[in-house]
Structure 1
Amino acid sequence: MADDLTDRLARCKRPLLYVMGVLYVVAGVLHFVVPDLYAQVVPPVFPRPLALVYLSGIAEIALGIGVMVPRTRRLAAWGLVALLIAVFPANVYMATSGVAITGSPAFVDDPSTTGRWARLPFQVVFVLWAWWYTRPLPDATN
């Protein structure tokens, strides 16, 4: 039973790598398309929120591409783990401050309290997903 699950996960690892990489590239590009939306969730204790949004956008694009390239995969995966940890305060700020995001669709403008808190455990899932690629792919070609 456990071997069956391990085999199924191994078969999914490569396709999920490209899903993850593309998601980070798209998210990074969105930091430049709608930077003010992202700046609104930067905790006020951090200086220059717009600069941080652009910096994290660059990191998401670079790491999203890097994780799809065998030669840079492991380093990029570790970079994604670090990035996810670095942006976690923004998710906590969103959950605890009741900040309403202006200029976005209604369901994003003012998510429910449950929705705000539900984001936090997903960060753990995303960290684990990125961490998965710090290990070689099943066929060892990385």
Structure 2
Amino acid sequence: MQTSQQRRAHASARVMSTFLTGMGVLHFAKPRPFDGLIPRKLPGSPRTYTYASGVAELGTAALLAVPATRRLGGRVATLLFLAVFPGNLVMARRWRHRPWKFQLISLGRLPLQALLIRASECIHRHA
């Protein structure tokens, strides 16, 4: 019998898997907006990082979707969300002169990242 924490972790894993699948597909279908989030100091083409992060999101989504790999998926999701956080900071900095709606989106991503990390750690602990 599952505990309430396990049920929450499984539900979170399904939602997170769906979200990551959608975002991963977007990295390939519409890569240009993601290219602009890549810090300029990184070596190589921003598109390479966009595609690599799309692959990482799709792989993480797959780990979260399968019960046998869900716990590992939670840990990988934490690492993924930590890795893309600098891109969210870049977005917030670059969008600071845009209309307030865009600024709100870019700034809202920062605390959202903390919630995603917390949820992924819950999945890792209780899946």
Scaled by the length of structure 2, the TM-score of the pair is 0.84
Note the aligned Cα RMSD (angstroms). 2.4
Tell me how far apart the structure 2 counterparts of residues 58 and 111 of structure 1 sit (CA, whole Å): 29
Identify the match of residue 70 of structure 2 among 73, 96, 114. Answer: 73
Is the Cα contact below 8 Å between 2:95 and 2:102 reproduced in 1?
no
Is the Cα contact below 8 Å between 2:10 and 2:123 reproduced in 1?
no
Is the Cα contact below 8 Å between 2:17 and 2:62 reproduced in 1?
yes
How many corresponding residue pairs? Answer: 124
Secondary structure of the 1:71 match is helix
Deviations 1:8-65 (A, max 9, x none): x554332222111111111101100001111011111123210001001001001101
Is the Cα contact below 8 Å between 2:13 and 2:70 reproduced in 1?
no
Tell me how far apart the structure 2 counterparts of residues 92 and 37 of structure 1 sit (CA, whole Å): 15
Q: Which amino acid aligns with 1:50?
A: R
Aligned-pair identity (%): 30
Tell me how far apart the structure 2 counterparts of residues 126 and 69 of structure 1 sit (CA, whole Å): 19
Deviations 1:62-87 (A, max 9, x none): 11011121222222211111111111
Is the Cα contact below 8 Å between 2:37 and 2:90 reproduced in 1?
yes
Scaled by the length of structure 1, the TM-score of the pair is 0.76
Task: Name whichever of 68-77 and 33-42 sits farther off.
Answer: 68-77
Is the Cα contact below 8 Å between 1:22 and 1:65 reproduced in 2?
no
Q: Tell me the CA shift for residue 97 of structure 1.
A: 2.3
Higher helix share: 2
Tell me how far apart the structure 1 counterparts of residues 27 and 47 of structure 2 sit (CA, whole Å): 9
